[in-house]
Structure 1
Amino acid sequence: MNIFLQTHIVKKGETLEQIAEIYHIPDLNILKDHHYLHTPDDSNHLGPTLFAGQEIFIPDQKEIEYYILKKKQVLEERKNRANNLIENGILLPVFNEMDEKIQFIIQDFSDDILQNTSEFDVRLKYLEKEEQLFTFLYQKKLLTINGEKAEMKAYELALKCSACLYPAGLEININRKIHDIKNYHEILKRWKTIQHELLKIYTDENSIAYIEGVRRTIEVKNELIKAYQQDLFLQSYFYPYFKKYTSGKNESNSRYMPERILYKNQHLITIAEDISVTLNAECIDDRSQQEILNHLPMTHAEHDEDELLESKITGNFHLSKQHKLLQQADIIIDSYFYNVKETTKIKLNLK
């Protein structure tokens, strides 16, 4: 630091930018910080307009280099703090930036032979936060089966029944559980209208039984919450979130897929150009394969080894570094039901 401070006396009409250029100062903030360092009471303010005769303290070349180095260090510290918040804290996105359009593709294989490809578009928009509850608008549309609009009667009926469920205002807690349906009464009203029309069109016994099953789910709010909770898209999209990563690693047990199979999960997070989360999960469900397929709770009966489900999940999730919002995901679920390999491949892509 120089003992004698360098100063500049402002000439009429001179600007701060011109003065910075004269002394080869690359950033006006360097000039301002140095000036105020020697004018602590701010009695000589550097406003948008300077006045003739005003004295400005000017840093020398070494001081300019020091300020530049300090700025780089501060930026690096901020970057490291941001990374540590992800690696050693909860992975929580900046949800208020979310209004996403997402392509969701599901491929089902049996013994590695493709059986069906289902595809639909999703809109997911953040609405609000209240305490530790996050509300999202969730809407599905444009479902196709094997690239075509579903025409089978069962598919057609299922689509018409589910039409009333969207858009849904879903309130999700930090455990990725759906706490409430904010527009439940609106959904119920839509269902009443759709149900009345469906019963005019579908008069066979199987269709009526299906409509009745849907009615029992929709007209009991807690049952409808369970149905949304088993939604494969919602499970897939929110899978990497709300987890505590210690040294870039998280281990937990959770239930996945509509069958609610229990898995032991290991998540690894890496931060480079984006945020990547890799998932490896092994089935630890004690139920027999038949109990799982029938959605039955675990009994106290002991099962033979070949009755237990062999299943694993691998996944790769890519999130934007700035807002930590999901950009792309690939998930593979391999299961052996009675020695037949069943595989589900799931893809999420921003549109």
Structure 2
Amino acid sequence: MYHLEKIETSEYDKHQTYKVRKGDTLQAVARELGVEAQELRRYHNIYCPIQDLIEADFKNHLELVILAPEKKEVKTNEGIARKLKKISLANDFRLPFLPERINENYKIQYTSEVGDEIDITEMKISVKWLAVDNNRYHLFEIDRASEIYINGKAPDTMMSELALKAAEVLYPLKIVVNEYGKWIDIHNYNEIENRWGRIKREILDYYEGEVAEAYIEHTENALENSETLLASISSDYFLRVFFNGIHLGYTSDYSFKNEISFPLEKEEESMFKVQQKIAQHLDDSDLIKVEQKGDYIDLSDGIQYGYAPWKGNYNAAFFLNSDSYCIEKINLECSIEYDEPLKITVHIELLQEDEIKSNS
């Protein structure tokens, strides 16, 4: 039932795997292995290449499913136990933040599930550290590649094209990040405002009608001042997930309880009570793993009138380079069981050198 399989994708070489057979489904394989389907998908998605992510079910091309190890010690091919490597933190149990080393490219996938409707957006984003001031506020430049795919293809509707064209005004985006790695402000509002003149002319030259006018009005309302712009992009999944502020001081048992807000619904914050912890040892890939796991806090008025609270979950896993403490991979899944269930899944993964060259 359990296999160690060798294929070209290096991630699969490091883990125990299950070979997918014709007719297999996520639920059926989970039952066969005696695990929860959600946990099987969660562990696989943490370590697999982004094209092999399991969504509602297995993709047609998927050959192997990565399995969680049964023991903390992993055996090598020679049968010798792999020695666990303890992570290194600062003296106050703080996870170091060394942003000066960040100049990376990432591939991003957002999956939005509203009821039975699923939309998947894929893009590439670059992150570059620029400077730091005396108060330890860091300046980063964020840029987005022009190629964006929605449900596996380039945008092919007027509304999608307009939305992406209007969003071009933001990039390159310069942001301010505090000493804990949390995004707190926009730095280049004036540049963005000046950039809008050119993009607006391009929209008017190519598009016409009420839809184009509505996008222009919406963008100009967002650009009214720096505060309205910050509020407008506060729901940006990449900025909220990547600059989450995980570089904090932890307790001696490497964990603490926290409340986290996340824009599960656009321009509306959802609150979650989570346990935030760092794995005390490096994982199989010698990465530092930081987890945030918890439940939705229902702040609606319905509870006062005897209605059962809405339920939801927040699960995030950050994987950091053990030398630079820079992020290499993030998996986040956030959901609320409304009358119509709502779930957002975010996967961020460092682009490898060969992928960058093939795209240049």
TM-score, normalization: structure 1?
0.67
Cα deviation for residue 315 of structure 1 reads: 1.7
2:114 is equivalent to residue 101 of structure 1: no
Structure 2 CA distance, aligned partners of 1:100 and 1:286? Answer: 38
Letter in 2 for 1:341: P
Aligned to 1:252: 258
Aligned to 2:299: 286
Letter in 2 for 1:268: K
Letter in 2 for 1:128: A
1:184-203 residue pairs with structure 2 within 5 A? 184-203=189-208
Match among 187, 200, 215 for residue 220 of structure 2: 215
Aligned to 1:318: 319
1:1-351 residue pairs with structure 2 within 5 A? 83-85=88-90, 88-111=92-115, 113=116, 115-130=118-133, 131-141=135-145, 142-174=147-179, 178-239=183-244, 241-247=246-252, 248-257=254-263, 258=266, 259-270=268-279, 271-272=281-282, 273-287=286-300, 302=304, 304-306=306-308, 308-338=309-339, 340-351=340-351
Deviates more, 1:323-332 or 1:279-288: 279-288
Asked if structure 2 preserves the Cα contact closer than 8 Å seen for 1:109 and 1:116, the reply is: yes
Asked if structure 2 preserves the Cα contact closer than 8 Å seen for 1:92 and 1:241, the reply is: no
**Deviation digits for residues 208-240 of structure 1, max 9, x if unmatched?**
123211111123111112233321011111225
Letter in 1 for 2:274: N
Aligned to 2:12: none
Letter in 2 for 1:129: V
Letter in 2 for 1:90: R
Cα deviation for residue 177 of structure 1 reads: 5.2
SS in 2 for 1:305: coil
Give percent identity, aligned residues only.
22
Larger radius of gyration: 1
Count of residue correspondences: 257
Q: Which structure dedicates a bigger proportion of its chain to helix? A: 1
Asked if structure 2 preserves the Cα contact closer than 8 Å seen for 1:329 and 1:347, the reply is: yes
Letter in 1 for 2:314: I
Query: Gapped runs of 5+ residues in structure 2?
Result: 1-84, 352-360
Distance 1:127 1:285, change over 3 A: farther
Asked if structure 2 preserves the Cα contact closer than 8 Å seen for 1:202 and 1:208, the reply is: no
Letter in 2 for 1:267: Q
Distance 1:179 1:274, change over 3 A: closer
Structure 1 CA distance, aligned partners of 2:343 and 2:240? Answer: 17
Query: Gapped runs of 5+ residues in structure 1?
Result: 1-78, 290-300
Distance 1:302 1:210, change over 3 A: farther
Asked if structure 1 preserves the Cα contact closer than 8 Å seen for 2:183 and 2:239, the reply is: no
Asked if structure 2 preserves the Cα contact closer than 8 Å seen for 1:91 and 1:240, the reply is: no
CA RMSD between the two structures = 2.4
Structure 1 CA distance, aligned partners of 2:172 and 2:152? Answer: 24
